[in-house]
Structure 1
Amino acid sequence: MSLSVVHMEGAYTLASRLWTLSICHGLIYRAVMDIAGIILAGGLGSRMGYVKKAFMEIGGRTVLDRLLAVYVPLFSEIVISARDRADFAGYGHVVAEDRFAARSSLTGIHAGLDAMTASHGFISACDAPFVQGGLIALLLAEATPDMDVIIPIKEDGYMEPLSAVYSKRCLPFIEDQLKREDYKIIRFFDQVQVKTVPLDRLAAGDPHHVSFFNVNGPDDLVQAETLARDLGL
């Protein structure tokens, strides 16, 4: 276990397993684990004409490149969870192929958690091109070794399962669920230790409130291009 001190002032640095993250001047956060970064890149993109979302371009950059630019300063271990290993062979990161035939986010979470060497992994997906490093850093600072899921929760009670931290201890419960062909991510939460983090505790890391913007269809892609241009994302 490594000890990480997060000093919020404006830049990201990463040195081996001791890292300092900065977001907002004057705030200090302490995290106590080494956490892997997992990118779910195996979606069908059926509503996008079966385009692989990882390689969609927004503002001249692919979604995968955008996510990696956020992940690299934050995580010493990065895993790309995908259906086809060959698609990602040139990226220099571990590629975890799905072990279940069904196409689902839960399938990708299972593959990523199984492949990582860290005890916990932060999950994001290629539906979310604008996830902010500042928000991730604040969420990581909420993580403790005894918690199995650390997840943002909105005021209406909705949790964000694809911008959350999961422990390897979740694997047997996820696997049992997948064998039952039950793909609702939060279904296993009552079997593990869950910590919900209100969005107002993460707001300083995402001033434009874009981390949870999802590209699910052509209209969303048009809006994403507008956000990238107008906000300089």
Structure 2
Amino acid sequence: MDPNLSAYILCGGKSSRMKTEKGLVQFQGKSFVQWILEALYPLVLCPVLVAKNPAYESFQLDMISDRIEGKGPLGGIYSGLTHSPTGLVLILSCDIPKISTDVLAFLLRYSTRNPDKITFLSDGENDYPLIGVYPKKCLKAVENSVLRNELKLRQFVESQAHQRILLSPSHIQAVQNINTKDQLLSLS
């Protein structure tokens, strides 16, 4: 475990397409967040949930609320970066129940090689900046974007030093985010 790394799971979305709290949705007998935690625990000792819903207290983890509400994923990243005591911050969305320790370890290996860059996964067609490592030093840039209401995450990431890490085809399902009940039903 890297003492210069902390992890934050963003659980504060509106879940408008799922119509229920995404992180608490059940998949094969466990909530999405539980699947993510099981993938994380071999790599990060004390992940933090960025969540307002008291139902997340059942995970018995530290929880923080968004510092500025209503700012979407970039606002969640801002909250995590502000709270984090470490130089590197792993950010994960709460809707990736198939994420694996192997995929996260792969991402972390690349992030430590270039710790000054935002490092995120890509399948070659889609980028996943909510499965990424953000250097604490980009906090001021994130804060400026949030305060200016420039909240498009991909636009922000592209404006910063970054590296896109290509996944092998065998790992693409691990990064699939589940936003609707139909997508949930299609998971295997």
On whether the aligned pair clears a TM of 0.5, the verdict is yes
Residues 147 and 195 in structure 1, CA contact (< 8 A), matched pair in contact too: no
Q: Structure 1 208/137 Cα, relative in aligned 2: closer, same or farther at 3 Å? A: closer
Question: What's the offset of the Cα at 1:91?
Answer: 2.3
Q: Distance in 1 between matches of 2:63 and 2:117?
A: 23
Match of 2:4 in 1: 34
Larger radius of gyration: 1
* Higher helix proportion: 2
Q: Any unmatched runs of 5+ in structure 1?
A: 1-13, 18-32, 228-233
Letter in 1 for 2:42: P
Q: Which structure would you say has the larger RCO, counting Cα contacts within 8 Å and 6 or more residues apart? A: 2
Task: Describe the shift of the 1:73–1:177 C-alpha distance in structure 2 as closer, same or farther (beyond 3 A).
Answer: same
1:170 paired with 2:133, answer no
**Aligned counterpart in structure 2 of residue 88 of structure 1, from 40, 44, 56:** 56
Q: Which residue of 1 aligns with 2:177?
A: 214
What is the RMSD computed on CA atoms of the aligned residues? 2.0
Moved over 6 A (4+): none
Matches of 2:98 and 2:57, distance apart in 1 = 24
Report Cα offsets for 1:128-153 as digits up to 9, x if no partner.
11111101101101123642301123
Whether 2:81 is the aligned partner of 1:113: answer yes
Which of 135, 140, 159 in structure 1 is aligned with 2:103? 135
The TM-score normalised by the length of structure 2 is 0.89
Shift, 1:127, TM fit: 1.6
Matched, 1:58 2:21: no
Q: 1:190 to 1:59 in 2, by over 3 A?
A: closer
| Alpha-carbon offset, residue 99 of structure 1 | 1.3
Equivalent-residue separation in structure 2 for 1:72 and 1:59 (angstroms):
19
Structure 2 residues without counterparts, runs of 5 or longer: none
Q: What one-letter code is carried by the residue in structure 1 that aligns with 2:180?
A: G
Aligned to 1:152, what secondary structure does the other structure show?
A: strand
